[in-house]
Chains A and B, each alone.
Chain A
Amino acid sequence: EVQLVESGGGLVQPGGSLRLSCAASGFAFSNHVMNWVRQAPGKGLEWVSSLTGNGENTYYADSVKGRFTISRDNSKSTVHLQMNSLRAEDTAVYYCVRRSWPWGPFDIWGQGTMVTVSS
Chain B
Amino acid sequence: EVVLTQSPATLPLSPGERATLSCRASQSITNYLAWYQQKPGQAPRLLIYDASNRATDIPARFSGSGSGTDFTLTISSLEPEDFAVYYCQQRSSWPLTFGGGTKVEVK
Interface residues of A (CB under 8 A from B): 44-47, 50, 59, 61-62, 95, 100, 103-107, 109-112
Contact = CB atoms under 8 A, between A and B. Distances in A.
A104 B100 contact: no
Nearest to B48: A105
B61 to A, nearest CB: 20
Interface string B45-66: 1100110000100000000000
Interface of B: 34, 36, 38, 43-46, 49-50, 55, 87, 89, 91, 94-101
A59 B93 CA distance: 11
12 contacts: A44-B87, A44-B99, A45-B44, A45-B87, A45-B98, A50-B96, A59-B94, A62-B95, A105-B50, A106-B34, A107-B55, A110-B43
A112 B40 CA distance: 13
Nearest to B85: A44
A109 B87 contact: no
A59 to B, nearest CB: 6
Contacts of B99: 44
Nearest to B46: A107
Contact of A47 (B38, B46, B95): B95
A109 B45 contact: yes
Closest 9 CB pairs of A and B: A109-B43, A105-B34, A47-B96, A105-B49, A45-B98, A107-B46, A44-B101, A44-B100, A61-B95
